[in-house]
Amino acid sequence: MIGSKQIDKVMCIACQNLIGEHTKRGLGRCLFRVQGTMIAEGKSQAEESMNKYKSPEFVPQENTKQ
């Protein structure tokens, strides 16, 4: 199990400082930044993967009644 002392020694991927050096406000800012980046990247990846499920464009056909 990882404890708070080990977490304090981990480098923040948003600002490259140790997590233990953050204030509560600074930690919140970094977490918000990382979360926003993940959501933005995930959204573009999701849109790309969902393109294969989109229906083709609707093309109206001529009146087929005879």
- pTM of this structure: 0.59
Residue ranges in the chain whose pLDDT is less than 50: none
Task: Give the integer Cα–Cα distance in Å for 50 and 62.
Answer: 31
Residue 13 tokens read as: 């991927």
Dmax (CA) of the chain: 80
Residue 14 tokens read as: 């948003």
* Amino acid 48: pLDDT: 73
* Amino acid 33: pLDDT: 93
